[in-house]
Homo-oligomer: A and B are copies of this chain.
Amino acid sequence: MSSSCFERQRRGAGSGLLFVIAGPSGAGKDTLIDGAMSRLPHLAHSISHTTRAPRPGEIDGTHYFFLSIERFLREIEENEFLEHAVYVGDHYGTSRTHVQSLIAEGNDVLLDIDVQGAAILREADLSGCQVVTVFVMPSTLAQLGERLRCRGSDSEEKIRQRLETAEEEVKRIPEYDYLVINNQLDDAVAEVCGIIVAERARVVRPTTACR
């Protein structure tokens, strides 16, 4: 019996799992993703495509892939996006080709998308790859408000809007596989890592085979 025989009965690291990390603005998604990537191998962060203009310091291919509205619309028509949405007048999307290339390089993929995108992705045609959905949130909406204020980048009116959006978003927690409560960063990173490690150790059943 070969050395890999039992290992092939579980998904394993880099088997093309898609971890959708969703949650309201200010929940700490980016920090958790950076934390997980620094601790675990075979993880890649999918970069979104957008028609929004780059802000100072933003690099194409690092923060976003920036593209024209014409090209974005053409790619929608070509079914290039696993999910896409309009936010404050700009288009944002997750590129199928980009995700597939990260998987082909031997990675599991972390997708940082909004709650609407997560719902679409859960139903997307992903060639049998497993989508695991994680909602990130501090314990209370009040804590979320505090965090947005500390960040100092939004007006009080904008923060009020974000909290109203968050109040709607948390109603959809029951649609997710996992809920990470991000009060203490270290604990929350450990939880995200635990979820990734556990999903990689899942026994492969014929219906869940990936690739």
- Contact of A122 with B by CB under 8 A: no
Taking residues whose C-beta sits less than 8 angstroms from the other chain, chain A's interface range is 35 or more
Integer count of this chain's copies in the complex: 2
Tell me the bound Cα distance from A203 to B203 in angstroms: 20
Tell me the bound Cα distance from A202 to B181 in angstroms: 11
A140 in contact with B178 given A197-B194, A198-B195, A201-B191 (CB within 8 Å): no
Shortest beta-carbon distance from A78 to chain B in Å: 34
- Contact of A173 with B by CB under 8 A: yes
Contact call A179/B203, Cβ cutoff below 8 A:
yes
Q: Within residues 16 to 63 of chain A, which ones have a CB less than 8 A from any CB in chain B?
A: none
Tell me the bound Cα distance from A205 to B175 in angstroms: 9
Shortest beta-carbon distance from A207 to chain B in Å: 12
A198 in contact with B203 given A6-B137, A139-B7 (CB within 8 Å): no
A195 in contact with B201 given A7-B181, A179-B6 (CB within 8 Å): yes
B residues near A196, Cβ cutoff 8 Å: 194
Given contacts A6-B139, A176-B203, A194-B197, 6 further A-B contacts (CB under 8 A): A7-B139, A9-B179, A178-B202, A193-B194, A194-B195, A198-B199
